[in-house]
A and B are shown apart, each in its own frame.
Chain A
Amino acid sequence: MPHTGVPARDRRIWEHPILTFRRDKKVRFYFEGVEVEAYEGESIAAALYAIGVDVFSYSIKLSRPRGAFCMIGKCSSCFMRVDGIPNTRTCIEPVREGMKVERQYGLAEVPSFSREEAGGEEVIETDVLVIGGGPAGLSAALTTAKYGLDTVLVNEHFKLGGQLLKQTHKFFGSKDLFGGLRGFQIGERLSGMVLEHKNIRVLLQTVAYGIFRGGWVGLAGKNRLYRVRPKAVVVASGASENYLVFQGNDIPGVMGAGGAQTLMNEYGILPGNEVVTVGSGNVGLIVSYQLLQAGASVKAIVEILPEIGGWFVHAAKVRRYGVPILTRHTLRAVWGGERVEGATIVEVDRRFRPIPGTEKDISCDLVLIAVGLTPDTRLFAQAGAVMKWVPELGGSVPLRTKYLEVSVPSMYVAGDASGIEEATTAILEGEVAGLSVVSKLQGLKADAAERRERLLRFLWDGYRASPLLSRARAGKEAVTVSEGEMSEVRRRYPPITSFG
């Protein structure tokens, strides 16, 4: 590229042991006025990162460079001006021929026009609205559709599949639960079934922005507004990655582990060459292993606790290739200008205080933050569902019956939004929620009821009985109430809206 302002690197992965990246059609667009190339199906943020762009904007007060962090539309780190519209989430906006993308400097101006022809407004009457197109939402929608219910599925991203799309490892569990397949293979399978199903209408790049009196839900699509009045709603809005406080934590190259995973496994773009991972839970371990597979070197995984957080089998996979897992260590600082250049780690004592003199500098260009997730439960809070703060589940989540109905009648929760677990349990919860909707709308059908009980038994007495999942299980127990207790909750805190 003949321009000085645009770094011309190629961070795309062209050979990968597990994945094949389809790069069929080139798309040209403008970045800071310079023509750049991308591939169809890439997000703007991914396409820019691929050619070496680390800085997407400069912060409002201190003009600090801002880079990619979560890559799934949940953080705001990738806001840019796209065709004149500021604050566009470039990580979930696909590249289009001829589009103009610019960095933002400071607070954006309010746009005085809309990007596309406004497509007006539509009122949708439907049986079921499913919010979220990840494992839980897909599984819920397939279940309600299977029983003949008209189902609308909304998804913020331009692709279905949620976090399944970036899971390259084979899933645990059992054969009849997709176990043994790789996550992205499960994602492709579920998304394909949803897209083909005649009872499901899929609205991509559409945000459920609010729940209103009388059971109305507001949706904002790319160029169209929808008002939906469903007989039941399943909210499977997922989670966002947690952040960590340390010096230099905003330097581009400090990235959520999931964000890095999106770049490398969904788009085939290497997020960095030399990596320090913070947090040894399953996410930190798995993403570190995947970075090795993509060709990066993982210099260390630091863990503040005296033990590895994730499963032994995941730890063993990175240890075998020489990655040190430093327990009782934490990150002190990260340094660099417009890109991370290194990190200082430090040992901690039994009370997690840094031990002076144990600091070590590690040169690296990527610092992965893998310190857990927070459920995205904003719609429940807004709808007035009774919530409970449960540290084991990652934050505030709605109380629910074992059939996953929350205190707002005919509103259901499934997946990480119900408390952080994993994709397998999300698929199970999605189906349970779907079957509960079926029972509610069609009366208790013997086969649906029987299947639901079987799933619940497996979920609680099978899968979650693993001692490795006891924390999450305890969390889920703490927010699961009986039908009687739920009636009492509703009597004390009358719902401000309801569906059905």
Chain B
Amino acid sequence: MKLGGGTHQLLHSGDGMAGESPSFRSAGIVTVENLRRLGLAPPENRMRRGPVAVVECPEFIPCNICVDACPFRAISMNKITDLPRIDWELCTGCGTCVALCPGLAIFVVDLSKPDKALVTVPHEFLPAPEVGEEVWLLGRDGRRLGKGKVVRVWERNKTWVVTVEVPKNLAMEVRAVWVER
């Protein structure tokens, strides 16, 4: 029996990744090119103007928490199974969505400072980082890419939102931090 079958089929044809499944399905790591192609990463020049969200949510999961989370209405969807659509001009990089996204899939990147980039990541491990502390910077594959200084930490329902300084060339690579005391 089919109940309202129409939408279902549409999704399969229009999902932008027909044919071979994308490499992140086997690697668990998404590439920046993939994110850009899906409209989930802001253009380089936008990041140079100040903090902005990078939404690493490339599948059509049934979720729209970020849409309601954003105080600036920068994220939109027509259906709950759409990919988040981000208006890079409305996004202020405030990081609210970083704290609320259940997939811990949203980050904020800021390339506006002359010497360092700032990357904001969600963190749900003990100990929580402290401002001023040097922490390990981890890539999408968990590799330690160096150390960086924590410049801001806040928390919402046990998800810490941590902003760290990272070398500019690693702004699109660092996606977690690890505290070693």
Chain A contact residues, CB within 8 Å of chain B: 15-18, 169-175, 179-182, 292-293, 306-308, 311-323, 325, 327, 402, 424, 456-457, 460-470, 473, 477, 480-482, 485
- 11 A–B contacts, CB within 8 A, in A order: A18-B124, A170-B102, A172-B103, A173-B64, A175-B65, A311-B103, A318-B28, A319-B142, A462-B81, A466-B60, A467-B60
- When distances are taken between beta carbons in the complex, the residues of chain A under 8 Å from B125 are 17, 292-293
**Of the candidates A170, A306, A465, A470, which one forms a contact with B79 in the assembled complex, judged by CB atoms under 8 Å apart?**
A465
Closest to B177 in A: A320
Interface contacts beyond A312-B25, A315-B24, A316-B29: sample of 17 additional A-B pairs, CB < 8 Å, sorted by A:
A17-B128, A17-B158, A18-B124, A170-B159, A171-B102, A174-B80, A179-B64, A307-B26, A314-B103, A318-B28, A319-B141, A320-B175, A321-B142, A461-B8, A463-B80, A467-B12, A480-B1
5 cross-chain pairs, A with B, having the tightest CB-CB distances, nearest first: A322-B142, A313-B103, A315-B28, A172-B63, A170-B102
- With A15-B126, A316-B29, A316-B140 as known contacts, state yes or no: A321 contacts B178, CB within 8 Å: yes
- With A306-B26, A307-B25 as known contacts, state yes or no: A468 contacts B61, CB within 8 Å: yes
Contact indicator B105/A316 (Cβ below 8 Å): yes
Closest to A315 in B: B28
- From B51-59, B87-95, B108-116, give the one contacting chain A: B51-59
A173 and B100 CA atoms in complex are apart in Å by 12
Considering the complex, which residues of chain B in the window 16-53 have a beta carbon less than 8 Å from any beta carbon of chain A?
21, 24-30
Contact indicator A457/B4 (Cβ below 8 Å): yes
- When distances are taken between beta carbons in the complex, the residues of chain B under 8 Å from A307 are 21, 25-26
Contact indicator A465/B7 (Cβ below 8 Å): yes
- Kindly count the residue-residue contacts between A and B in the assembled complex, taking CB atoms under 8 Å apart: 167
- When distances are taken between beta carbons in the complex, the residues of chain B under 8 Å from A466 are 11, 59-62, 80-81
- Measured CB to CB, the closest approach of chain A to B19, in angstroms, equals 14
Closest to A469 in B: B62
- With A293-B125, A402-B3 as known contacts, state yes or no: A322 contacts B138, CB within 8 Å: yes
Contact indicator B59/A293 (Cβ below 8 Å): no
Chain B contact residues, CB within 8 Å of chain A: 1-4, 7-8, 11-12, 15, 21, 24-30, 56-65, 68-69, 79-81, 100, 102-105, 124-126, 128, 138-143, 157-159, 175-176, 178
Closest to A171 in B: B102
Contact indicator A175/B68 (Cβ below 8 Å): yes
Contact indicator A182/B157 (Cβ below 8 Å): yes
Contact indicator B1/A173 (Cβ below 8 Å): no
Contact indicator A308/B1 (Cβ below 8 Å): no
A458 and B3 CA atoms in complex are apart in Å by 11
Contact indicator A465/B140 (Cβ below 8 Å): no
A480 and B4 CA atoms in complex are apart in Å by 13
- When distances are taken between beta carbons in the complex, the residues of chain A under 8 Å from B102 are 169-172, 179-180
- When distances are taken between beta carbons in the complex, the residues of chain B under 8 Å from A293 are 124-125
- Measured CB to CB, the closest approach of chain B to A284, in angstroms, equals 12
A340 and B125 CA atoms in complex are apart in Å by 27
Query: In this complex, which of A169, A313, A457 has the most chain B Cβ atoms within 10 angstroms of its Cβ?
Result: A313
A316 and B40 CA atoms in complex are apart in Å by 15
Contact indicator A320/B60 (Cβ below 8 Å): no
- With A463-B80, A470-B8 as known contacts, state yes or no: A322 contacts B143, CB within 8 Å: yes
**Of the candidates B4, B11, B138, B158, which one forms a contact with A320 in the assembled complex, judged by CB atoms under 8 Å apart?**
B138
- When distances are taken between beta carbons in the complex, the residues of chain B under 8 Å from A311 are 59, 61, 103
- Measured CB to CB, the closest approach of chain B to A364, in angstroms, equals 18
A321 and B59 CA atoms in complex are apart in Å by 21
- With A16-B126, A314-B103 as known contacts, state yes or no: A172 contacts B28, CB within 8 Å: no
Contact indicator B3/A480 (Cβ below 8 Å): yes
- Measured CB to CB, the closest approach of chain A to B152, in angstroms, equals 18
Contact indicator B64/A174 (Cβ below 8 Å): yes
Contact indicator A313/B175 (Cβ below 8 Å): no
Contact indicator A467/B29 (Cβ below 8 Å): no
Closest to B2 in A: A477
A463 and B58 CA atoms in complex are apart in Å by 17
A469 and B63 CA atoms in complex are apart in Å by 12
A317 and B100 CA atoms in complex are apart in Å by 15
Query: In this complex, which of A15, A325, A467 has the most chain B Cβ atoms within 10 angstroms of its Cβ?
Result: A467
- Measured CB to CB, the closest approach of chain B to A132, in angstroms, equals 24
A311 and B56 CA atoms in complex are apart in Å by 12
- When distances are taken between beta carbons in the complex, the residues of chain A under 8 Å from B63 are 172-174, 179
- When distances are taken between beta carbons in the complex, the residues of chain B under 8 Å from A173 are 62-65, 80
A325 and B28 CA atoms in complex are apart in Å by 8
- Measured CB to CB, the closest approach of chain B to A427, in angstroms, equals 13
- When distances are taken between beta carbons in the complex, the residues of chain A under 8 Å from B139 are 320
- When distances are taken between beta carbons in the complex, the residues of chain A under 8 Å from B142 are 319-323
- Measured CB to CB, the closest approach of chain A to B145, in angstroms, equals 12
Contact indicator B4/A319 (Cβ below 8 Å): no
- Measured CB to CB, the closest approach of chain B to A110, in angstroms, equals 49
- With A174-B68, A174-B80, A322-B141 as known contacts, state yes or no: A462 contacts B58, CB within 8 Å: no
A477 and B24 CA atoms in complex are apart in Å by 29
A173 and B61 CA atoms in complex are apart in Å by 8
- Measured CB to CB, the closest approach of chain B to A285, in angstroms, equals 9
- With A15-B126, A17-B126, A180-B65 as known contacts, state yes or no: A320 contacts B59, CB within 8 Å: no
A456 and B15 CA atoms in complex are apart in Å by 24
Closest to B57 in A: A313
- When distances are taken between beta carbons in the complex, the residues of chain A under 8 Å from B24 are 312, 315-316
Closest to A170 in B: B102
Query: In this complex, which of A292, A308, A461 has the most chain B Cβ atoms within 10 angstroms of its Cβ?
Result: A461
- When distances are taken between beta carbons in the complex, the residues of chain B under 8 Å from A327 are 26
- When distances are taken between beta carbons in the complex, the residues of chain B under 8 Å from A456 are 3
- When distances are taken between beta carbons in the complex, the residues of chain B under 8 Å from A485 are 1
Contact indicator A460/B11 (Cβ below 8 Å): no
A180 and B157 CA atoms in complex are apart in Å by 10
- Measured CB to CB, the closest approach of chain A to B147, in angstroms, equals 16
- When distances are taken between beta carbons in the complex, the residues of chain A under 8 Å from B158 are 17-18, 182
Query: In this complex, which of A16, A172, A292, A468 has the most chain B Cβ atoms within 10 angstroms of its Cβ?
Result: A172
